Amino acid sequence: MIDALAYAVVVLAGVAAIWGVVTAIVNKPPGKAQLLYAAGVEVVTVLQSIIAAAKMISGFRPAELATTIGYLIGIVILIPIAWLWANVERTRFSGIVLAVAAVSVLAMTLRLLVLWTPAG
Partner 1 sequence: MTGVPARQPSADVRRTNSGAGRVLVAVYGIFALAATARASVQLLTKFDQAPLAYVLSALAGVIYIVATVTLARGTRASRRLALVAISIELVGVLSVGTLSVVDPEAFPRATVWSVYGIGYGFVPLLLPILGLAWLWHTRPDAP
**Where along the sequence are the contacts to partner 1 (CB under 8 A)?**
66-67, 70, 74, 77-78, 81-82, 85-86, 89, 91, 93-94, 96-97, 100-101, 104
Using the minimum distance from each CB to partner 1, give the nearer residue, 67 or 117. 67
Distance CA 27, CA 40 (A): 24
Helices (H), 26-91: 32-57, 65-88
Helix-helix angle 92-115:65-88, to 10 degrees: 170
CB of 4 to partner 1, least distance (A): 26
Of 8 and 21, which has the nearer Cβ to partner 1?
Answer: 21
Nearer Cβ to partner 1 (4/98): 98
Give me the least distance between CB of 74 and partner 1, in Å please.
6
Residue 67 beta carbon to partner 1: minimum distance, rounded to whole angstroms: 5
User: Counting Cβ atoms within 10 Å, is residue 28 exposed (0-12), middle (13-18) or buried (19+)?
Assistant: middle
Q: With contact defined as beta carbons under 8 Å apart, do 119 and 63 qualify?
A: yes
